[in-house]
Structure 1
């Protein structure tokens, strides 16, 4: 079974889109003073065709001095991006404030709404969003504001509220706007979906974002990355991992980012789809996007779980060479286990010995003893097993004593071997595990007696060589 990757965080710090505030410049004075309304398709529901309200001559002249060809608003618009327009905006603001203070200049409710609209635009242009919000709120609440203008301004006002994290007020304006608008764009749906999310209205957020995705599909256009991203978060919080996985599969296909591949691997792991998890994570690894020790070690553990120890060892070894994985006793021990499972005993021995230098333990020495025995180095196997027994904390003490006994038999130290095998029998916890050392006791006793008889008749036979 795979060692599970901890599910990578799917929820970001915030999913509120960077707000591109839609604020158009105020209409020209000439258009404001027009009397007859143009015939056109209605932009909003339930809006009756009526005459357009007009701006009186006195007000029109005053506003023209602000935004006409020679006015500061027009001059500010003609400046280059790197030129400072602040003095011009301040001049325009001062002129409009003066108009506000003189009730006879722009006296009608409609004329006042035009002044407030201009002031809102000026404050916005100076990055004074609080000031802009105040004036656009006046436009929305103004008795003389035309319904169409009021609705347009509601959308702008909602964006300003969102920028100031006044999400409930933003939603209030947007819900009125959406209810009245004939056409609701995808960006507007995403904006309100994200605001619903901020207000913990997650069912409403999911409904709105899925409408946006469905509308994108119906138009034959690719849903925006932010749509799937928010949808993914909402399903993750519903613990619908299959749906999250499906969304991430779309994201890695259409908006490929390594963070999505990592999250996809985490989702596969959570559903015990180990091979899929391995493939997704390998994709990230091969592109050098696993950059922390925990990420690379998790990859290695996955290969160990998939019974591909050689690949696990290569990953850890490279991670250490690249200085991503620290050469701690624990990491070196895992490297040794991987090489040992891959039947590469020399490299396993090297890793275990390096680990023992960092934090020696009885268990490490027992592993080292076993490898030395397999490599035919009986003296070192005996010494390592002896060292392991002295240190203690060996997971399988019976096996360690059996290793010691086997090394001593090979060194023709039969009495010592019998003593080691007896300790192995004593440490064994089951009858089955006691059987192996007991068989070796019989063999060592018989072989020792046989060689002793040969010595007794003058034959040259090898003696104990453990020193």
Structure 2
């Protein structure tokens, strides 16, 4: 009977050992769980024992934590109070205290009392008889808790110590240190670690984690190593397909002025219906305009306006009308540019509209809009608007009216040659027609404007 009682007591104690030596990380990952198995073959000093008196006091507390449901906050608070009373007696040895501190740290963590959890875990680490394997795991936990508090300096120091203590430091722990270095603006050290971890994974035939490549991409970008950024992004879109990586790839192509590659990436996103906001769709349209494919640009903007994604502002309507105009879809360009001109106080859109009317051979409308543009002002090249106005007047046989228009245009040295040629022509033609009219020739005069 006595032997049976001893075995039963021993069994209950091992349940408690599982509790205090089990995973205590705030978040569990399969790789870290696998790495814990490496300690099974590691030689450590003989495990210290918890005395019977201490075990008897801890057993009911362990039972409370092992219930079918997680303990409530009130239960955890009560457990902390009860456990804290055991530090002097009966749990007085260094090893027993380490287990008490571990239990307190875990309980405070469960209550999201992170500073107090850290304090107890650090007290546990300071005990001279703490179990070596538990010490390594707990130091990693402390680093994670410092991360939660955004105390990256202390997190880095804990991880640096962890690297010296762990028999085989895992990739996730080293990546955590790389992240801490990044937040501490120690980019060179961060990149060295990341490159090492990624290279190890690739050399062993494994696919690096998405977060590893993501940090590596950021570090390369901040160093201005854009070709390496592109290489990382290509791996990300291959192994972790996500529209944001395609967008980043398109963005970096744009920075490098590789507009053809940027257009290909953006068009792929558009085909996949991943361009969902106005800025993205307009960017793609401008890329098509730059590639001299105005019809495609116009279709994208037109569809965006029809779906309500692109706002029909004066500027957006001007871009759409201009794209239709470049695509020689004048019938589509005119109503759009007219809407844009009605919404704008600037003469720039009216000037473009005048040019479109001239192309459509609606000369009266061209004259009206050109004069409207000159009256509104805000023209970067008013001389070009005057050339449009003058050409429309000539088409209406209004040569004398066109003469001062071309004279004003000739003041701009960029169009002076063209304006003077027009001026010479209208003066000559006006004089010729006036002589014919004096001879009662039946010729059309200036149309009503």
TM-score by length of 2: 0.84
SS in 1 for 2:50: coil
Distance 2:293 2:210 in 1: 36
Q: Distance in 2 between matches of 1:65 and 1:405?
A: 100
Match of residue 74 from structure 1 = 66
Which residue is 1:63 aligned to? Answer: 58
Q: Name the structure 2 match of 1:304.
A: 289
Tell me which of the two structures has the higher relative contact order, counting C-alpha pairs closer than 8 angstroms and 6 or more residues apart. Answer: 1
Matched, 1:465 2:447: yes
Structure 1 segments unaligned to the other structure (5+ residues): 1-25, 33-40
Work out whether residues 142 and 155 of structure 2, in 8 Å CA contact, stay in contact via their aligned partners in 1: yes
Deviation at 1:437, TM superposition (A): 0.9
Q: CA deviation at 1:49?
A: 4.8
Aligned-partner Cα distance in 2 for 1:376–1:436: 21
Say yes or no: does 1:255 pair with 2:255.
Answer: no
Q: Cα gap change, 1:317/1:436 in structure 2, threshold over 3 Å: closer, same or farther?
A: farther
Q: Distance in 1 between matches of 2:404 and 2:331?
A: 29
**Could you report, residue by residue, the CA deviation over 1:101-151 in whole angstroms, capped at 9, with x for unpaired residues?**
43xx12221222222222222333333333322221111001221333322
Aligned pair 1:333/2:318, yes or no? yes
CA contact (8 A) 2:357 2:365 kept: yes
Instruction: Give matches, 1:295-374, under 5 Å.
Output: 295-374=280-359
Partner Cα distance (1:147, 1:339) in 2: 74
In the other structure, the counterpart of 1:158 is 143
1-structure distance, mates of 2:305, 2:17: 74
Alignment of 1:161-172 (within 5 A): 161-172=146-157
Give the match for residue 184 of structure 2: 199
Does the 8 Å contact 2:406/2:420 carry over to 1? no
TM-score, normalization by structure 1: 0.81
Which of 106, 113, 123 aligns to 1:121? It is 106
Question: Normalized per residue, which structure has more helix?
Answer: 2
In the aligned structure 2, how far is the partner of 1:107 from the partner of 1:386?
Answer: 98
8 Å Cα contact 2:383/2:415 also seen in 1: no
Give the 3-state SS of the residue equivalent to 1:183 in structure 2: coil
Which residue of structure 2 aligns with residue 231 of structure 1? 216
Please say if 1:92 is aligned against 2:79. yes
1:170–1:465 Cα change, 3 Å: closer
What is the CA–CA distance in structure 1 between the aligned matches of 2:416 and 2:110, rounded to whole Å? 87
Q: Which runs of 5+ in 2 are unaligned?
A: 1-12, 20-36
Number of aligned positions between the proteins: 420
Describe the superposition over 1:33-87 as per-residue Cα deviations: whole angstroms up to 9, x where unpaired.
xxxxxxxx98399x865433222222232223432xxx32233xx22x6xx5445
